[in-house]
Each structure stands twice: as C-alpha cells, then as structure tokens.
C-alpha cells in the first residue's frame, strides 16, 4: 500500500523527489505517513480535502483484503 500511495502522490506534486511514505504500526492499524514538500501540501490535500479523501479511499480499498486497518496522514 505504501508504494501505491507514493506513486499516486508523485503524480500530483511538483517535486516528486520529495515524496516519501513511512509505515508505522499504531493501535492495531497501519499508519502511512505521506511526506511531501511544503509547497505541495495543498496539491495533495486538494479543495476541501477532496484529493486527500480520494487517496485514503484508494488505499483503504487496496487494503480491504487484509485484516488490518490502514490510515493515511499527510505531513509536510
């Protein structure tokens, strides 16, 4: 799932080299921390959070077959 999230984010931002995804286990869930450049945070979040919501939906759908929850956090 981390690779999928990273690839989607790279296609959205102006600085794809700054995109990094860290995977952390917290409270029975896998947390994917998406790191992007400060100037690209708005592009990843989108208007009223629409792009961020879409990214979270795609990642959750990809992880649906596994038995763990996946959360996405966007960090600059």
Provide the token pair at 36: 């992007």
Cβ-contact 28, 69 below 8 angstroms? yes
Looking at the structure, give the CATH architecture of the domain made up of residues 2-75. Answer: 2-Layer Sandwich (3.30)
pLDDT digits (tens, 9 = 90+) for 5-60: 999 999 999 999 999 999 999 988 999 999 999 999 999 999 999 999 999 999 99
Cβ-contact 43, 14 below 8 angstroms? yes
Q: What is the pLDDT of residue 18?
A: 96
Q: Which residue has the tokens 């939906």?
A: 57
Provide the token pair at 18: 């700054």
β-bridge partners, 24: 31
DSSP 8-state secondary structure symbol assigned to residue 41? H
């Amino acid at each position: 799932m981390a690779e999928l999230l990273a690839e989607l984010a790279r296609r959205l931002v102006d600085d794809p080299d700054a995109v990094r995804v860290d995977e952390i286990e917290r409270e029975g869930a896998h947390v994917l921390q998406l790191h992007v450049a400060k100037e690209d945070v708005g592009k990843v979040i989108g208007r009223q959070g629409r792009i961020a919501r879409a990214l979270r939906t795609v990642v959750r759908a990809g992880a649906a077959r596994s038995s763990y929850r996946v959360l996405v956090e966007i960090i600059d």
